[in-house]
Structure 1
Amino acid sequence: MFFRVILRDVCFIFELFLRNYEHVLDNNDKLEEMKKDIQDYILRTPWLRKPIELDLIMLENQLPYFIFTELFDFILKKQPENQGNMNIPPYLSKHWKESEFHDFFIRITYEFFIDYYRNGKATIKKPGEVELQQLNEIKHFTDLVRQFMCPDSGYPRGPHVKTKCLYTAKQLDRAGVNFVPSEDHSLADIRRTKVTYNCFCIGWKYLKLKVPKLKVEDDTECLMRNVMALEQCLYPSEAHICNYISLLDQLINTVEDVELLVEKDVVQNFLGSNDAVANLFNNICDQIAETSFCYGTETLCEDLNDHYNNPWNVAKATLKSVYFKIFGLGVPPSLRFLSLYSQLSRSLQPSRICSSNLK
């Protein structure tokens, strides 16, 4: 009985993945009739598809990935002359080579979970052909989604220094750290670069933090908790997503931090309340044990802390935001200097009056 239940679940998932794949195929005359006939109720009903998609990712619902691949290979290993008696879509005929079985199932799995692969912006050669990312051995669907979120470079090796970011996003912004959204990297692939620009013939340096866009939706907490639970069980020393959520928790303390990240387009808030986003990240790391912290290993957090602790960086950021806020990038340095001189003269004038009165 147990095996019958598993078999039915697997067949349902095969049917779901294949019908989803048919919807993304090239819209040509040969497939137009087939696409009209296949109007799947689940796929055309968002409030049904999304819960099923999330249900397939939940850790307690997972089946080993090899069960899907073995059964899928078993189906495609049937001889082509017998396919008239089999309910197999016609576009599968080009995948009768045994070497292509596994890649094709990975491809249709990618297509179904495409929203979690580089924020839904996968490299697509043509409709129905997503460029496959080089993945490690897939254990199940939760593990697949986790690999989508992790950077391509993998977890950093070597000694892990658990340096944390001591300052919030709002504090770092006041110190001149520039938060920039990134759309072509994996979710946890946060990068920092030191940028130099010339002003008054002086090289001014600031820190740019490239953070992949994060969509915070109703199911974000459930998704992250399942991936984090997986890492706690199977990847305790390579908990990249736990580290990523922990870093966001360090950057977000109050509603002001969320407002800044939303303004910078780093966070897209679909919850309707910035307070709800702040509460989400302030509580999601409870009971999470970290044996290492990858963002401390590559000195990302050290650079952020050092940048804020340098009073000169805070002064430069204040100078830029207060005195040069009204000027565009095309304003000549001489005009900026005159504006600065005028502002400083006005600010020093009251002190001169006070000193003359004391005399």
Structure 2
Amino acid sequence: MENDVAIEVEAMLEKAQPLFTTKCCCIYKVPHEIRRLNEDAYIPVIVSIGPLHHHGNSRLVTMEGHKQFYCQHFIQRSEASLSDLVSCLQQLEPQIRACYSEKIELTVDGLVKVIFIDCCFVIELFLRNYEGTTEDDLIFSKQWVWDLVSGDLILIENQVPLFVVEKIYNLAFASRLHGGGFPIFMRLASKRPLRNRGPLVLVGHTAFELVQAGLKFQVNKSSHCILDLEFEHGILKIPHIIVDDFTEVLLRNIVALEQCHYPRHHYITDYVYFLAQLVNSNKDANVLIKAGIIESMVCGNDTSVAKLFTDVDKNILVGNHNANYLQICNDLNAFYEHPCRTKIATLRRDYFTTPWKTATSIAGIVLLLLTVIQTVCSILQLRS
């Protein structure tokens, strides 16, 4: 009599399949040992492409409706019928499934639906960019949305097989390819919109470092707007600002509003970005507090002030980087990098940072001067 367990094991082994084969697999789930260092680097933020992130992430649900809207427009412009396009994917389903390193927990029909919507979305996205029909489009009209979408499209886990996208594209526009008005898909995909951000506003040195080089900070009393920064004759004037426990909430919400609603006018965002570069530590915050620029009412120490600006500045999606701030940054960097001021800053940093170092340095300088004087006197005596 045959063993029942042996029969069950034999039946189970008949259904066994390898996780993936190197010949077919091209879309991978990042191994735990790599992804644990920075989980967010591999997870889409706004849009899922392919089956690996199709479920389980609530923040990706909102874009699903927009993907379907794109899909609808793609079908309307397609020469092939919806039935023909879907049939094409149904025939390719085993090959599609074999492209993923993870086991796809979707039925045949479920996987076909996911791949179809996502392929149509990607093609329609590239077509709209190619044709320039982007004025009233959510993705293209909001720079921050485009930045998130474009970032998600490059993620290794957030992909559909290229051969499938090309197959759908070629089927949909068979008569318009090869001189008929549409480029091949690879050329279409390579025409990506550039991020028009202009020169980067970058202060290369913190407030403390600039003071070490001889710069002076003053309150800009001639203006009632916190955005009015002025730099002239080695003096950086910044309007007075009161920083309290509510300031972070206020700045975060204004920055969020600018990111979402004012794609070309990020005044507060640029202001925060500028101050975050100036104020990196308690030493930097203390410089602005002593100058009367910052009036700190934060519960904590000066580090809390520095942390406030650097925290608000984190994960800012887009910035306008206005010309006035850019000029000030360039002037500040040029001021610091002047050879004389660089040497002054080095001397102050290496020899005059503490009272003990200052006393030791002065004693050394006096001793050196006395030695020189004694040497000169000795030479003069010998000559006489």
Q: What TM-score comes out, normalization by structure 2 length?
A: 0.39
Q: What TM-score comes out, normalization by structure 1 length?
A: 0.42
Q: Which has the larger radius of gyration?
A: 2
